[in-house]
Homo-oligomer: A and B are copies of this chain.
Amino acid sequence: MSDAFQPISANDRPRFTEIASFMRLPHVPEGDPRRAQVEIGLMGVPFDLGTTNRPGARHGPRQVRDASALIRRAHRAHGMYPFDLARCADMGDALVNPADLQDSLARIAASVAALHAAGTVPLCVGGDHLITLPLLRAAKRDQPLGLIHFDSHSDTWDTYFGGWKYTHGTPFRRAIEEGLLDPKRCIQIGIRGSMYDLADNSWAEQQGMRVVYIEEYWRMGPEAVAAEARRVVGDGPTYLSFDIDAIDPAFAPGTGTPEIGGYSPAEAQRMLRGLMGVDFVAADLVEVSPPFDQTGGTAMVAANLLFEILCLLAGRVAARRAG
Interface of A toward B, CB cutoff 8 Å: 9-21, 27, 29, 44, 46, 48-56, 58-59, 61-62, 65-66, 70-77, 79, 81, 90, 92-93, 95-101, 160-162, 164, 166-167, 192-198, 200, 213-215, 218, 248-251, 253, 257-262, 264-266, 269-270, 291-292, 294-295, 297, 300-301, 304-305, 307
- Is A260 touching B266 in the complex (CB atoms < 8 A)? yes
Given contacts A56-B56, A59-B16, A291-B56, contact A51 B98 (CB under 8 A): yes
Residues from chain B with Cβ under 8 Å of A99 in the complex: 49-50, 52, 101, 160-161, 164, 166-167
A173 to B289 CA separation, bound complex (whole angstroms): 32
- Closest chain B residue to A80, Cβ basis: B198
Smallest Cβ distance from A198 to chain B, in angstroms? Answer: 5
- Is A66 touching B62 in the complex (CB atoms < 8 A)? yes
- Is A164 touching B100 in the complex (CB atoms < 8 A)? yes
- Is B54 touching A59 in the complex (CB atoms < 8 A)? yes
Given contacts A52-B10, A300-B260, A307-B194, contact A62 B248 (CB under 8 A): no
Given contacts A161-B98, A196-B74, contact A93 B17 (CB under 8 A): yes
Given contacts A74-B200, A195-B72, contact A260 B301 (CB under 8 A): yes
Residues from chain B with Cβ under 8 Å of A250 in the complex: 248, 250-251, 264-265, 297
A112 to B80 CA separation, bound complex (whole angstroms): 38
A70 to B250 CA separation, bound complex (whole angstroms): 16
Smallest Cβ distance from A167 to chain B, in angstroms? Answer: 5
Residues from chain B with Cβ under 8 Å of A305 in the complex: 260
- Is A265 touching B260 in the complex (CB atoms < 8 A)? yes
- Closest chain B residue to A267, Cβ basis: B261
A302 to B260 CA separation, bound complex (whole angstroms): 10
